[in-house]
Structure 1
Amino acid sequence: MRRHTSEGSAEDGMTLVELIVAMGILTVLLSISMAAVVGMTRSTVKAQAVTNASDHLRNTFQQMDKEVRYASAINTPGEVDGSIYIEYLVDSNAASGVQQCVQWRYNTAAGELQRRTWQVGESAGSAWRTTVTGLRNDLSDPSQQPFRVTAIGNDGGVVLTKQQLHVYLDAGMGDAGDSRGGQLQVQLVALNSSASSPNTVCMTGGPGRS
C-alpha cells in the first residue's frame, strides 16, 4: 500500500496485488525454463543411447569379422532355454597362436549379446561378457534370427566354397524409449573353411550351450 508524504510524492513500494502478479509471472517463466531443460536432457540421453548402440554393434562386427575370417568351421546355430547360440573354431594361425573356440549367445531373457571363449580341449570356458544390450530382434520372424550359417555347396543356384555366417542384430534404446536404434546385418566368410569342415565343432569335451 502506497503512502504519500506531505509533499504528495509516492514512496517506493509494491501493493499486494502487484507482488502476486510478479510472482505469477516468475512462476510461469520458471516452468517454461524447466520444461526446456528437461526436453534438452531427454534429447541428449536419446542421442547418447543411439551412439552407444551403434558403437557396441560396430565393435561386435569388428571382433566377429576378425575371428570368422580365420575360422575353419562354424557350428549350426542352436537354442537352449530360449537363448540362441553360435560357435566357430578359430585356427592356430590367428593372433592367439592356439586353436580357440568362440561362442556367442543371444540372451533373449536379458536382450543381450554375450561372448565367451575356450581353448580346444578345455573343460571350462571364460565368463560370459556382454557386448550389446537392448536387443529387440523379432524372433518370430525368420529373417530376424540373430545367427544363420550357410554351408558349402549350392545355395539357391550360387555355389559357395566357404562357410558363411549371417548375423542380424537390432539394438533398441532401452529405458530411453526411442524407436531409433542401431542395426547390424552382415555376412561373414570363414576363409579357412573347406568342404570337409564340420558343422559341429567345439562342443565335444568342452563347454556346452547353457
Structure 2
Amino acid sequence: MSAGVHAVRSRLRRLADDDQGTTLMELLVGMAVMTVFMSIFLTATLMMTQTANKVEATSISASQTNQAFLRLDKTIRYASAISTPGVSAASGDWYVELDSPPTSVAGSDTCTQLRIDSNKLQQRTWAITNGTAGTASGWTAIASSLTNGAAATGSADVPFTAPAASSAASTTFQRLQVVLVSTSGNATTATNRAQLTFTALNSDVSLASNATTCQQWGRP
C-alpha cells in the first residue's frame, strides 16, 4: 500500500472519530437571531393585514354612503317642499319630509319621510290626493351602520339641517343638508363622515307651508 493512500485513510479515520460539534453558546445565539427575524416577519405581516382590513372597511363605508346620497339626490332634487327637520319627542329619531309634485296633471303628490332609526337611514312614502293622505308604506333602509342618529341639536353631525338663507341666488329654493357618519369592519373598523347639501329645484323657500309639509303620519 502506497504511503499516499495510507495518509488519506488515516485522515479520514481521524475525521470520522472527531465528535466535535456546535457548542451550546452557538446554538443559543442562533436561536436568538432566528427569534428576532421571526418577530420582525410576524409584525410586518400583522401590520399589512391590519392596513388591508382598514382600507377595505373604509371603502365599504364610503361606498355605502355614496349610494345613499345618489338615492337621496333624485328624491330631494325634484321636491316641491321640504319640511323643517326635527327630532321625534317619542323616539328621539331625526326626521325630515319631502313633497314631490305629481308627474302628470291627474297625478298625486308623493310624500317621502326620512329618518335615522336603529343606526339605519330609512324612508317611507305615501300619496296625497286632493289633500287627503293615503296609507304610508313600510320603512325601507337606504343605509346602515350610521352612528349619528342620536346627534344632539346644534351638533355638526345632525343628520338633517335646513341651511340658513344667504345672498346667493340659489336660496330662492329650499335646501337640505344631510350628514351621514358610518362605520364599517369587524376586527378593524373605519369611520366615514360625509356631508352634502341638496337643492330642491321645484321649491320656494318663502312659503310658510313648508315647515309642516307631509307630516300627516307624524313623527313616531
Q: TM class by shorter-chain length?
A: 0.7 to 0.9
Deviation of the 1:31 alpha carbon: 2.2
Q: Is the 8 A contact 2:80 2:99 kept in 1?
A: yes
Q: Is the 8 A contact 1:136 1:172 kept in 2?
A: no
Aligned partner of 2:123 among 116, 129, 133: 116
Aligned to 1:168: 179
TM-score, with structure 2 as normaliser? 0.69
* Structure possessing the higher radius of gyration over alpha carbons: 2
Aligned to 1:202: 214
Aligned to 2:96: 86
Q: What stretches of structure 2 of length at least 5 have no aligned partner?
A: 1-11, 128-132
TM-score, with structure 1 as normaliser? 0.72
Q: What stretches of structure 1 of length at least 5 have no aligned partner?
A: none
Aligned partner of 1:144 among 157, 166, 182: 157
Residues in 2 aligned to 1:74 and 1:193: alpha-carbon distance in whole angstroms: 8
Aligned to 1:55: 63
Deviation of the 1:79 alpha carbon: 0.7
Aligned to 1:100: 110
Q: Percent identity?
A: 28
SS in 2 for 1:192: coil
SS in 1 for 2:162: strand
Deviation string 1:105-155 (CA, Å, 9 cap, x unpaired) is 234xx5x3412222324434223415142435863544432212258xxx3
Q: Is the 8 A contact 2:115 2:122 kept in 1?
A: yes
Q: Is the 8 A contact 1:170 1:184 kept in 2?
A: yes
Residues in 2 aligned to 1:45 and 1:173: alpha-carbon distance in whole angstroms: 10
SS in 1 for 2:211: coil
Deviation of the 1:82 alpha carbon: 2.6
**2:139 aligned with 1:127:** yes
Residues in 2 aligned to 1:198 and 1:140: alpha-carbon distance in whole angstroms: 20
Residues in 2 aligned to 1:100 and 1:12: alpha-carbon distance in whole angstroms: 93
Amino acid at match of 1:144: D
Q: Is the 8 A contact 1:73 1:201 kept in 2?
A: yes
More helix by share: 2
Residues in 2 aligned to 1:98 and 1:55: alpha-carbon distance in whole angstroms: 33
